[in-house]
Amino acid sequence: MAREFTSVGVVGLGTMGAGIVEVFARNGIDVVAVEISAGALERGRATLTGSTDRAVAKGKLAEADRDALLARVDWQVGLDALHSVDLVIEAVPEHLDLKQRIFAELDRVCKPEAILATNTSSLSVTEISVATTRPNQVIGIHFFNPAPVMKLVEVVRTVVTSADVVADVEALCERLGKVDVTISDRAGFIANALLFGYLNHAVGMFESRYATREDIDAAMKLGCGLPMGPLALMDLIGLDTAYEILDTMYRRGGRDRRHAPVPLIKQMVTAGLLGRKSGRGFYTYERPGSPVVVPDEHTPVSTGAALADGARAIAKVGVVGSGTMATGIIEVFAKAGYEVISVTRGAEKSAKVCEAVKTSLNKGVVRGKLSEEGRDAALGRVTWSATLDHLADVDLVVEAVVEELSVKKALFASLDEICKPGVVLATTTSSLPVIDVAMATQRPADVIGLHFFNPAPIMPLVEIVQTIRTSAETAATARAVCAGLGKTGVVCGDRSGFIVNALLFPYLNDAVKMLEASYSTADDIDYAMKLGCGYPMGPFELLDVVGLDVSLAIQRELYLELREPGFAPAPLLEHLVTAGYLGRKSGRGFRDHTKR
């Protein structure tokens, strides 16, 4: 039988500590809430009162339940108040020496059988535990912010943590309505180890002026369905906190350069630009602590006139290709009112593409998202062809053929001969260098990348990829076209992976390396990222959907171009692809899909 916890202590009543107090008190457990001073104690009390009052206002907590919750909390200054609790959770700032001093004092104050837990998100639980005479009773219980809302708890055992202590804490998490993942004491645990490499990479992308803060954040929200963009998330976490976590992970985690804090982070911390809590970080906020972003000197002008400034007029669009992406792009342009010429290799393929577009448009009608008149008008704007010569008078060509450079270069060389001067030639490549395609023509200034996401009629994002030869007029035209389609266009340079894939796939690769090292299971890693970070899919779910072969190819391209050791494809990913385990499409990837 698991131990029954009747009273717990919480040390440190900042945002996280106060949230942990609320979690326990909500579940009928008496809490001794401890701070270093009366002023800090009152701030913690105000945080808890504010949180519970908001819950009452939103109808998520009855007034009587709030009052009962608050009555379970005993507010105290000093650690001596914790002499009789069954469990203590420490939630003070992320400084090892501070935590060690607190644990040494808790060891003296608390009864012998009490469990001592740390909420650290990055420090070594083992190093904290050796400050006590009971390291077998020390464990990590890492809640996520905001603790009352987030379902995940990482339970971190050291090599000497008692199995009974682990079992008791796991049972406690279940009582609290949390989903726990139990892991060993490693830098960053699961969620932070995967999250902060991605965040650090995004800051590096911004620091190098590869893309604007708005475009980086929009790309990851709209392209991956993430709840927040990486730079906005850094502001929420706090740049000082992020720096400490990254620095600790770098030093504890084998000095992986992926976790070496980007210099800009330290510069911003030194300048007091800490994010929301200071009122300014990557963005500027209404006031310190406010989530409301206000315009500053870096905020882009986003009026329609500015988007169209210098853009060429586009009325007729050619789409080359017969796959899923080409079909979706045809539908997108036709529904937006453009005249479209669809070019495929042969009448049979044209007929299949035509049928696929009709099927998709009919689904729109059935779902009430498109009228029958709108469907018929969209189909009436499309001309079906099997010859490139019919593109002689279009204003824009969008290429969506197979991802092979030789095929694309040959196509663009042909388009160069056929198309009239001034036509914008766009490639939808997701991984190949756009400049290589552009240089197959005599008009590289007119060539640009327009990377639509699949399914194109639904996904709101388009990456607009400028090469060093792309003209300002061509770029302006691409931005105006995306706006005309109702899409969000994000502008970036011609670098492997562009924005989304360059940030997404190293994170997925890191997850595979974590599994490969037997640090955790695929299920627990997926739980950690979905429940701890709010991701719509865990990394292994996503890898099986994307296809392990596709993921490996993209990761190889990133590694080949950037030569960053941390980007080297995980051997396990290569082995699974070699074995034919490609994900859902083959029936097996990281999971067996034939049994579902």
Q: Which residue is it, tokens 């995306």?
A: 482
Is 154 assigned a catalytic role?
yes
- The catalytically annotated residue of 51, 124, 129, 192 is 192
Rounded CA-CA distance 69/367 in Å is: 46
Is 121 assigned a catalytic role?
yes
Rounded CA-CA distance 125/183 in Å is: 12
Which is nearest to 274 in space by CA: 325, 236, 220, 246? Answer: 236
Rounded CA-CA distance 275/112 in Å is: 42
* Cβ neighbours of 559 (radius 10 Å): 19
Ramachandran angles phi, psi of 449, nearest 5°: -95, 135
Q: Which residue is it, tokens 């001794």?
A: 32
Query: For the purposes of burial, counting CB atoms within 10 Å of the CB of 532, is it exposed (0-12), middle (13-18) or buried (19 or more)?
Result: buried
- The catalytically annotated residue of 51, 121, 129, 278 is 121
Rounded CA-CA distance 528/190 in Å is: 7
- The catalytically annotated residue of 35, 129, 142, 201 is 142
* Cβ neighbours of 461 (radius 10 Å): 21
* Cβ neighbours of 93 (radius 10 Å): 11
Is 575 assigned a catalytic role?
no
Q: Measured between alpha carbons, how far is residue 108 from residues 97, 322, 561 in Å?
A: 17, 73, 56
Q: Measured between alpha carbons, how far is residue 584 from residues 317, 580, 594, 595 in Å?
A: 34, 11, 9, 11
- The catalytically annotated residue of 22, 35, 154, 399 is 154
Complete DSSP assignment for 239-308 = HHHHHHHHHHHHHHTT--GGGSPPHHHHHHHHTT--BGGGTBSSSEESSTT---EE--TTPPP--HHHHH
Is 142 assigned a catalytic role?
yes
Task: List active site positions.
Answer: 121, 142, 154, 192
